[in-house]
Amino acid sequence: MATAKKLTDNHLTCVICTEVFTDPATLQCNHTFCKSCLLKYANTQSKAIQAKSIPCPSCRQLTKVTNPDSPIEEWVSQLKPSHVIQGLMDDFGPRSEAADVNNCRVCRTQGTTTPATFWCSVCDDVFCDVCLKLHNMMPMLCDHAVVDVSNTTKRKAKQRFMCKIHKDKQIELFCKDCRKAICHTCCSIKHRKCDDVDTLDNMTPVVREYLSGENQELKIKMTTSENEIIFKESQIKEIKTNAQDIRYEIRKLRHTVVEAIVRKEKQLLDKVDRCSDEQIQELQAEIKSQEIELQMYQQQYEFTANAVTSNSERDMYAVYESVCEESTDNKDTDNRPAPGRVVFTHDMDKLKKAVDDIQLGEVKVVTGVSDHQSTPVLHHTIDCQDDDDSEDPYLRDVTVLTVDGIKVTVVADYNNTSIKTYQTSKPNTLSNKMLLSSEPYQIAKLTESRIAVSVPDSEEIVTVDVTPDPVLLSTIKTTKSYYGLACLRPSRLVAGTDGESHSVDILDMTGKILKSINTGVIKNPDCIHITSNNNLIVSELTVKSIVSVTSEGEDVFTYTPTGDRALYYPRGITTTSTGDILLVDRDSPKVIQLTESGQFVRDVLTQQDGLESPHGIFLDGDRFVYVTCGRHVRVFKF
């Protein structure tokens, strides 16, 4: 149990079975798994088997095999653990416990068991006190370096580095061409054609420095992975909440539809009652009339019967004359139609089709702003007002960096002549700010931890390291007042000036103008964006257009809409992973989406989404859109 705990504590567990490694195998991507686990996983990946490669269960990277025609079992069996994993297994595995209680080798050959107290670095053997005296008495052995067996640090440091091929030869050389530590025999046999072989003593500081650098990179990757896990977990939570909200909306919609059907049912039932009541009332009126006629006929009958039975001829003829007159006048004039019948007719097939055609809505997955069906939702807002600001902030531009795995939002505050940084995990907590000589205009992202900022009134471009605090790296003095600024590559900037040349300048990092690129109708480019294929997109507040040109100055498109789509005050520009363009029109106010070729797609964000005087815009890799609005950064999620 102690061994298993030590192995687990030192990360020697397989992520598939979550147990301590059993016969570990390391892939080309440096991820390690149990061979049995890796084999089971590989057998489920038919595409990888067809590609004659072993897929990594963690990162999906393929590892090419040396003998593709052999069975997949042989592919896995030929994999070996990395030196790091093997070293950890040796240090913390079951054999390490045995090493802690090693017995004297000399005594062991004589059939006795004596605990070892010393280890000889040259002989690579352990001895008890008595046998060590014999060892030191031999002239050829007396100068060997010996350390206490309990001192594992010194023991490991002094342990001889022996060749795996020529097991009796010590490794003393390093082949730079093959990047491999070798012995003299290996050098003379297998590395005769190699050009660069150095001693291990000379290479050790270099290797140690390289590994230290690798360790720093791994530390950054670990932090990045941890932050990615936290972010993905928050995404899962968000997805669950979103799904619950959608379920509620669907049920609410179903309830609305059912209410509409119930209303239809009530209307039909009311009509049945109304029609039936009308017919009943009509018939009841007719019955009343018939009852009156019946009484009249009964009276006439009695009068006529009395006349017939009486002996008075005068009465009989009087009755007769009156009856004849009534018979002449009383003709059957009742031509009223027979009362109608309430019926209910319906087409079951038509009704069924209507029910089937009811569109409660559509459920689908949208992948971001590139999906033209996606809709933006305000995720959070960053308030960039600081306690010691002299004026209300006005944010000209925004970008987002990833520094040591932490997202950092960087803004250019024009009114307070400063660069401010905010950590994404603490959206309203200022990390720090850096004052500039005058008002900043546009931010150019150089790397994930470095930016350049145009400061036109001072005729400067400053470079800033973000740690995540902003730290001034250099001040580049320029010959012009540059407003728009973008990064063509880390050593080349594209800058736009206030002039009459209708062009932007390509600068090196000293401010030297290397060449100028024509920008067509845009003569004062104050917002510049570089696309993934190195095209330039420029805008200008006084021209109701945006222009796209190649880095050689060839025209790509000019977007000058009219009518309802006319631009009022074009400002910030960014592009999606698929090449779509997002353009800020400050005075509309809205964010417009165009295709890569400059065709209108839609208005992505409007005043109804909370846009007030939008200026700068940035789209990160997690489908968040950052838009500066006065003193705030509105962050939308697609």
At residue 287, what is the residue type?
I
Q: Mean pLDDT lowest for which of 89-103, 131-145, 346-360, 566-580?
A: 89-103
Can you list the positions of beta strands (E) in 374-533?
377-383, 395-403, 406-413, 418-423, 430-435, 443-447, 450-455, 460-466, 470-477, 482-489, 492-497, 503-507, 513-518, 527-530
Q: What is the mean pLDDT of residues 486-503?
A: 87
> What's this model's pTM, rounded to 2 decimal places?
0.52
Question: Phi-psi region for residue 14, left (φ > 0), alpha (ψ -120 to 50) or beta?
Answer: beta
Q: What is the mean pLDDT of the chain?
A: 84
Q: Quote the pLDDT of residue 473.
A: 93
The 3-state DSSP composition of the chain as helix, strand, coil percent (nearest 5) reads 35, 30, 40
How many other CB atoms are found less than 10 A from the CB of residue 156? 12
Residue 443 in contact with residue 482, Cβ under 8 Å? no
The tens digit of pLDDT for each residue in 189-220 reads 888 888 888 998 898 888 888 888 888 888 87
Q: Which domains does the chain have, with CATH numbers?
A: 1-100 (3.30.40.10), 223-356 (no CATH), 377-637 (2.120.10.30)
The tens digit of pLDDT for each residue in 77-124 reads 888 887 677 777 766 654 444 444 578 888 888 878 888 888 887 777
The tens digit of pLDDT for each residue in 578-601 reads 899 999 999 999 999 999 999 999
Q: Which residues contact 582 (CB under 8 A, 6 or more apart)?
A: 369, 573, 574, 575, 576, 591, 592, 593, 604, 617, 619, 625
Separation in Å, CA 606 to CA 369, 535, 569, 591, 612: 15, 27, 14, 7, 9
Q: CA-CA distance, 322 to 344, in Å (whole number)?
A: 51
Q: What is the mean pLDDT of residues 551-557?
A: 91
Coil, helix or strand at residue 157: helix
Range picked from 323-337, 492-506, 605-619 for highest mean pLDDT: 605-619
Q: Quote the pLDDT of residue 78.
A: 81
Q: Which residues contact 505 (CB under 8 A, 6 or more apart)?
A: 480, 482, 494, 495, 496, 497, 513, 514, 515, 516, 517
